[in-house]
Structure 1
Amino acid sequence: MLRYMQKTWSYLVNEINAIDLLGYNKVADNTFPNIVPMTVGKSANQLPRNKSVWLMQMDDYNFIWNNYSAKGYRTFYAEDHPNIAMFDFNKAGFKKRPPGDYFNRPLSVAMEKNKNIWNSYHNCVHGRTEIDIVLNYLKDFTKMFQNKPHFSFTFMTRLTHDNLDGAYKADKIYLKFFKDMFKSDNLKNTVVFFFSDHGMRFGKIRETFVGKLEERLPLMLIVFPPWFLKKYPDINKNLRINARRLTTPFDIFATLEHILDFNGIDKKEVIKKRSMSLLNEIPEDRTCVDADILPHWCTCSKLKTLDIQNKTVINVGHTIVSLINQDLKDSFDVCEPLYLKSIKHALLVIPFEKRLRIKKTRQHVIDRKVTNGDHVKSYIDYQITVQTKPGDAVFEATLRFDLKGKTYDLVGDFSRINKYGNQSHCIEEHHLKKLCYCKIQP
């Protein structure tokens, strides 16, 4: 955000006193599995699933806005770009009831169908940007219920989904929106979360180390009303401390629950768990294991560069391609089997938890939980970037080698870090789109 939306960030952090969660770590690859923990408090694979999961209606899930609605809050839900809306793209969406009392999807779909009203690469409707239309709807909602309990969830996609440069254009729009909102006092009793689901997942930037970190460390700014922070100085202190602690979308859900049930009494004992409210202090020694972040996504690990010509590294590279082909095997009638073309990068992943326990071992050798033998020699994690043929796809994956069983397991997901465009046009399964290279290319 500092690169593309400097004015908005500076205004929120320096003038409005927003908390910038610098250790906010995503927990999965793309939008849906990162938003589900934030809004449902569960990982996506904990939701009821079967082979027709993408046909299941989203109404069946208990989203956080339902909890607010049950306690008398008016609710609002809005997105742009209806073709890839997070709960509708390759999913059944909301069919029984809308996710909020105020819901823009019917209007958004109608606008999308009318090709004559769009210009500026489908970002503007006549003389207004699509983002501005949605934000004005949100502005009207907050103004109407300024003095009544209300909850809103808004998610924008189109302007920045495929091109980070779009964030330059968004900077001016969001800056005006937030200035109007805060100066009008519409947010005087409101907590604001300004966030992204993940960083750029593909392209030349993503192939760099900085790009890898940016992808895994999305934006999360939080603004509390000044009067609230003054009234509860311990919470203000906790929020400032937590800005530099490891946090995840699960913690946002826990925080939203805490806000809903807040009675002015801070919890005295904090139990280390997956979902932790930011109103309490997050432990300094929290690890990715504690936060349920798989090694592939964890940014707390130490990374050691390995020789890409090393025999073990080459073996891991072939194993990654083999695992991709296992996922594709039922689609080999339309998708090509993939082969290893080259290994681009190879890293040894040393989790923070291991380093912490090694350090503790020197001081507490009696404590069996932190002895070297129990933890350091049980497995090895490799993070390898491979290029496959045909198609020149670039994949990044983390494989865990079990030193006892002599087996490799995928920990996390396959990251496709270059664009695949129409290479997988022949297949509809969303999770295979990034893997498949169609036998017949357009």
Structure 2
Amino acid sequence: MRIASCYFKRLVLIIGLTILIFCLIQFLKFEITFYDRNDRNDKLDGSPACKLPRLDIFNPEIMKFIHDVPPLQCSPEDWVKAEGSKLFIDKNAKNQYGQITCSFNEILRVDDYNYILTDTVETDKFYVLRKSDYAEVNCKTQTGKRWHTIIAAVRDDPERKRDVTWSKVPREALNLNILMFGFDSLSQNTFARKLPRSNRYLRQNLDSIILKGYNIVGDGTPQALIPILTGKIELELPETRKRMGAKAHYVNVYPMIWKDYKQAGFITGFMEDVHHIGTFTYRLKGFDEQPTDHYMRTYYLAASPHFKYSKSFCMGGIPRHLVMMNHIKSIFNKYKDQPKFIFGFHGELSHDSYNDIGVADDDVLHWIKDLKESGHLNNTILILMSDHGHRFAEIRNTLQGKQEERLPFFSFTFPPWFKKNYPQAYANFLFNAQHLTTPFDIHVTLKHILNFKEPKEGDIRNRGISLFDKIPLKRTCSDAFIEPHWCVCLSWLEIPLDQEVVQKAAQYLLKFLNSYTENHRDICEKLRLGQILWAAKLIPTKGILHFQKSRDTDGFVSELSAKTKLTTELYQLKIKALPGKGLFEASISRDINKNIFFTRISDISRINMYGSQAKCVENSLFHLRKYCYCKE
């Protein structure tokens, strides 16, 4: 009996061990299959190929540059105000000064650099705009006191209102307005730091979706906005640079997304301040024909000479950022029941300062709230965004500042019903917001809105992927058409500055910069090396792009794999050049076999302001501004 019992226990133990071994074998088979399958897909653990950096909003290295600025104190009074297309003399001004007579001249666009005024109309009551959205106003009292402004409103256009209706918008389009509004040079973190109330309202009250991995694809505003608006980079588009003379086209030749919306039956608008450095007019030739139904450049051409008579950042009693924001709101009110595509971009507050933008927080918050309370956000996609982080500032000279420059603020706010009506598209949007996205994706998304189809898995072979489709986790910067110089996903190892390769790379960089200005040595000093400030080497890992001298025609090469033999190395270094103490940050590749270096001008960033150092080229040789130190 005792022997039988022992035998039974031994048998149970053997069976148990057999089952355990079998389970272990099956588990190992599963693991091998799982990792093999995911390895082929460039995913080892389901994590994205592009790992975004974690950037502390309150990083002490950054916060030492952040401070509050006093609120704007604009003039307390405006004698003339606008309501729709009507410009009327304010009751409070009449009560204070008695009878006021005003002369009105509407401002008519000639081209992107000139305007004319209509004949003067005098009245002591009101004036209705007939030919333009903008007017010059001069007022005087019976005692001789004078007041002047340039005013923006929205003229009545019965024919346009009649012709533009939702019934004419294609059936396959989402019946949604598009309102894009951006501030220049705001990283995701800067938006959170300097516009905290607006940021909190977007997240908590509107469930806005912030694109955490929105990565720039080039240096400057044109390189940020052109891909959004056209789906292409400047080099792929017809020549529009001023310096190319008669060869240059007007920018109208670009396939702007607002043309698609106009053709689909939408009212269109483009607003941009700081006209002297306009996105399409500073270096490019500008627009021949007015590009959109409402075009605010004409206002700023007329108004900017008068800014000096107002307090800083004010136009009379109104903050200048509110002039644009109120104009956009007036357009939405005027065409409340018509489809609209409006894009406003404000640069004055934030282009040269990372603190001044803080004065706009309450105004931005109230503007968004008013859009919501007016019902506009019930049928509008609100896109608040920026082009890039700060490029020329002390913050940019820090390691985190470099990364923040590449990760601008970009957000989408959908109507409350959108999530319920389009659950898969919304879910994909939430997913994509946590991963690598680009300006090209924004363009495809805007296209998708006009021809909305069922969401699907995004095709990694496409440069741009609609954010309503699911972007594959295996997507890399190479897939997304982002050069290594701008990619936030890459891993870099800081290396000693006295290494021979660093010294040679720095000398090569100086030689390259000087070759760029060589033909203008009569006005541009030859640069010399002042100091090497920082150097790093790319850590080549599977799933990231690799940069070579002999690249494909589109500027990219295949990704590394376990079988790839490394023939080039990629370095980044930061130097100070003399004279002028210009700070340059460059990505430079080295051919290991030949021990030669290679870079391009697009792989070099000037990270401190050049100011008057470039005065001899700023009005003609625009492309040399960041690299030319003008001779005395």
* TM-score after normalising by structure 1: 0.92
Q: Indicate the residue corresponding to 2:284 in structure 1.
A: 91
Distance 1:313 1:189 in 2: 55
Larger Rg computed on CA atoms: 2
Matched, 1:109 2:301: yes
* Identical residues among aligned pairs (%): 35
The partner residue of 1:60 within 230, 249, 253 is 253
Cα distance in 1 for partners of 2:542, 2:235 equals 24
Question: Which residue number corresponds to residue 34 of structure 1?
Answer: 224
2:306 counterpart letter in structure 1? N
Q: Tell me the equivalent position of 2:204.
A: 14
Give the aligned residue type for 1:406. Answer: N
Distance change in 2, residues 1:275/1:181 (3 Å): same
Shift in Å, 1:170: 1.8
Q: Given the alignment of the two structures, is residue 178 of structure 1 paired with residue 371 of structure 2, yes or no?
A: no
TM-score (norm 2): 0.65
Offset at residue 116 of structure 1 (A): 5.1
Change (3 A) 1:49 1:402: farther
Alignment map for 1:214-253 (pairs within 5 Å):
214-253=404-443
- Please report how far the alpha carbon of residue 386 of structure 1 lies from its aligned counterpart in structure 2 after TM superposition: 0.6
Q: 1:294 to 1:113 in 2, by over 3 A?
A: same
1:363 corresponds in structure 2 to: none
- The Cα of 1:4 is off from its aligned counterpart by 0.8
Q: CA RMSD in A?
A: 2.0
Flag structure 2 segments of 5+ consecutive residues without an equivalent. Answer: 1-190, 547-557
Tell me how far apart the structure 1 counterparts of residues 419 and 310 of structure 2 sit (CA, whole Å): 44
Q: Hey, what does 2:387 align to over in structure 1?
A: 197
Equivalent runs, 1:367-382 vs 2, <5 Å: 371-374=561-564, 377-382=566-571
Code of the aligned partner of 1:431:
H
Equivalent residue number for residue 615 of structure 2: 425
1:274-353 paired onto structure 2 within 5 Å: 274-350=463-539, 353=542
Per the TM alignment, residue 145 of structure 1 is displaced from its structure 2 partner at its CA by: 2.4
Q: Name the amino acid aligned to 2:271.
A: A
Distance in 1 (CA, whole Å) between partners of 2:464 and 2:426 is 19
Q: Distance in 2 between matches of 1:129 and 1:77?
A: 19
1:438 aligns with 2:630: yes
Structure 2 match to 1:74? 267
Cα 1:369/1:438, change in 2 over 3 Å: closer
Opposite residue 172 of structure 1, the aligned amino acid is D
Cα distance, 1:45 vs structure 2: 1.3
1:214-233 CA-partner distances (Å, limit 9, x unpaired): 10100101111121221111
The 3-state SS of whatever aligns with 1:170 is helix
Q: What letter is aligned with 1:436?
A: C
Where 2:473 maps in the other structure, the secondary structure is: coil
SS in 1 for 2:517: helix
* 1:310-357 Cα distance to aligned partner (Å, 9 max, x none): 111011011111111111111111001111111000011235655699
In the alignment, structure 1 residue 162 sits paired with structure 2 residue 352: yes
Cα–Cα, structure 1 residues 426 and 356, in superposed 2: closer, same or farther, change >3 Å? closer
Assess if the C-alpha contact under 8 Å between 1:335 and 1:437 holds in 2. yes
Separation of aligned partners in 2, 1:429 and 1:354? 40
Cα distance in 1 for residues equivalent to 2:415 and 2:470: 19
Structure 2: distance between partners of 1:167 and 1:307 = 38
Distance 1:83 1:353 in 2: 45
Residue 165 of structure 1 aligns with an amino acid whose one-letter code is N
Q: What is the SS of the residue equivalent to 1:435?
A: coil
Contact persistence 2:268–2:292 (CA under 8 A): yes
**Displacement of 1:53:** 4.5
Q: 1:351 to 1:169 in 2, by over 3 A?
A: farther
Letter aligned with residue 212 of structure 2? L
Over residues 158-187 of structure 1, what are the superposed CA-to-partner deviations in whole Å (9 max), with x where a residue is unaligned? Answer: 011101111201212211110110121112
In terms of mean alpha carbon deviation, does 212-221 or 143-152 score higher? 143-152
**What displacement does 1:235 show?**
1.0
8 A Cα contact 1:300 1:352, kept in partner: no
Distance 1:268 1:91 in 2: 37
1:388 aligns with 2:544: no
Deviation per CA, 1:119-142: give whole Å up to 9, x if none. 22xx10011011101111100111
- Which range is displaced more, 334-343 or 146-155? 146-155
SS in 1 for 2:284: coil
Residue 398 (structure 1) aligned to one of 581, 587, 591: 587
User: Against the structure 1 CA distance between its residues 355 and 196, is the aligned structure 2 distance closer, same or farther, given a 3 Å change threshold?
Assistant: closer
- Please, which runs of 5 or more residues in structure 1 have no aligned partner? 358-367
What one-letter code is carried by the residue in structure 2 that aligns with 1:393? G
Question: Cα–Cα, structure 1 residues 356 and 137, in superposed 2: closer, same or farther, change >3 Å?
Answer: closer
